Structures are given as structure tokens and as C-alpha cells.
Amino acid sequence: MNVSLHHKYWCEEHGLNLPCTWVMACAYAPSGCAVACGGLDNKCSVFPLSLDKNENLNAKKKSVAMHTNYVSGCTFTSSDMQLLTSSGDGTCALWDVESGQLLQSFHGHTADVLSLDLAPSETGNTFVSGYYPSGDAFASASDDATCRFFDLRADREVAVYQKDSVIFGASTLDFSLSGRLLFAGYNDYTINVWDVLKGTRASILFGHENRVSRVRVSPDGTALCSASWDNTLRFLPVFSHHITT
């Protein structure tokens, strides 16, 4: 399976060959000098990038993460040196990119973990400065119908977002710009909005006619976009439906 990299301005392309039939996750390093990819090979590999189109990036590939099931998500932390992954083996893990060493493993889910997202780390953010240190927390979404919140420094789970009435798996999530809200898409076609501090559901959003495959908050934090198996994208102002950040 190939991963294609396109230069924003020059329209140049690099092709990366991965030894798996399905690439499920990819992420740029904060510096923009590397990209991580993973999928059904149970690995997450990191490729250093180059402006030389003829350079063989596959020869510089470094296998960083190894799970016992497929890699569903990956994201770098605040530097190029650490990588977070989520997996179908029900765990999330933090890896050292240089050595490939497992630094921390996060457990608690009872089914496949399908998505993960770092808590926002903007300077002066009241959420991260008043509740968790910047960049030291992340959330995961699982097929067990829960979302979980982990503290990287404490190496433990600190919150679970669930309700007895929520019985379908969560497939995707994203934080609001402030980090106070967590938007999670579910297989019952809904988006649940969780209050991260209180641990309660703040709202539930309807509209899709099939499972929600991806949710993303706009860079300025004012809008939410959701993608679904119903072949539609939906855009919602974050401040509507009594949703606030």
C-alpha cells in the first residue's frame, strides 16, 4: 500500500511503500520533517522527509511502534521524538521515535481503540493550565462505546466518558479549541459532546443517516465538521445547540 506526500506549493509528490494492504493512520511530525504511518501490519513506521524527489525515503524508514493488532491512529506529541498510537488490540501507547522503545502503555478499553487525540496545548489555555499540563493528556475512542482520558505524566486513565444509553462504538473524536469539550462520533449515527471537566454529556448531535467516521474542529474553533458513511459532510457552528467552548 502506498502513502503519497504532496508539497503544498510545488505540487511535488513522494510515494512511500508500506508492507500492508491497508494504511489506517498517518501524521506529520511537528517540525514537518517526518511522517508516521501505520495500519494492518500492526506497526507504525516513521519516514524522514526530503525535498529531493528522487531520494528513496523507504530506505530511511524506521519501525517505531509494534502492536498485537492493527494500528488505527497515530500522532506525535509536542516534539518529533515521541509518538502516540492507538490499536485494535485495545491499547494506546507512547513510543520513543529514536530508539523505538515503548515508554508507556495505556489500558482500560475492552474493544478496539479506533481513534485518539491530544488535548490542546496552546499557551494560556485555561483547560490545560488549570487542569492538565499542556500537551500531557490525550483521549481515545473505542468500539466498547466509551471514550477515555489519559494523563501522560501520571501514566494512567483519569476519566471515562460513557452512558448506559450509549451502546454503540465510538469511532472518532476531537477536542474543542479550549479542550473543555470532546466531540465523539458513534456508530449509531450520532455525535456526543462530552464535558471533559465534569465527565458528563453536554449535548448530542443528530443528522447523519449512517455511522460517523470522522469529526474535526476547525483551526479557529468555531465550527465542527463530521464525515459519515452516508456519503455526506456536515458543518455545525460550535456555539449552536448549547455547545460552548
Q: Tell me: the pLDDT tens digits for 111-152?
A: 999 999 988 765 433 333 333 435 688 999 999 999 999 988
pLDDT at 178: 86
Region of residue 35 (phi > 0: left; psi between -120 and 50: alpha; otherwise: beta): beta
Mean pLDDT of the chain: 84
Percent of the chain with pLDDT over 90: 62
Q: If pLDDT is split at 50, 70 and 90, which confidence band does 195 have? A: very high
pLDDT at 10: 41
| Least confident window among 26-30, 97-101, 121-125, 233-237 | 121-125
pLDDT at 154: 81
pTM above 0.95, yes or no: no
Q: If pLDDT is split at 50, 70 and 90, which confidence band does 245 have? A: very low
pLDDT at 19: 64
User: Of all helices (H) and strands (E), which one includes residue 6?
Assistant: strand 2-6
Residues of the chain with CATH 2.130.10.10: 1-107
pLDDT at 152: 87
| Topology of domain 115-136+170-245, CATH | Thrombin, subunit H (2.40.10)
Q: Is the pLDDT of residue 244 over 50?
A: no
pLDDT at 156: 87
pLDDT at 9: 40
| Least confident window among 94-103, 183-192, 232-241 | 232-241
C-alpha cell read off for 39: 495500519
| Topology of domain 1-107, CATH | Methylamine Dehydrogenase; Chain H (2.130.10)
pLDDT at 126: 33
Q: Is the pLDDT of residue 43 over 60?
A: yes
Q: If pLDDT is split at 50, 70 and 90, which confidence band does 183 have? A: very high
Residues of the chain with CATH 2.40.10.480: 115-136+170-245
Which is higher by pLDDT, 58 or 162?
162
Residue type (1 letter), 24: M
Q: Is the pLDDT of residue 5 over 60?
A: no
pLDDT at 87: 95
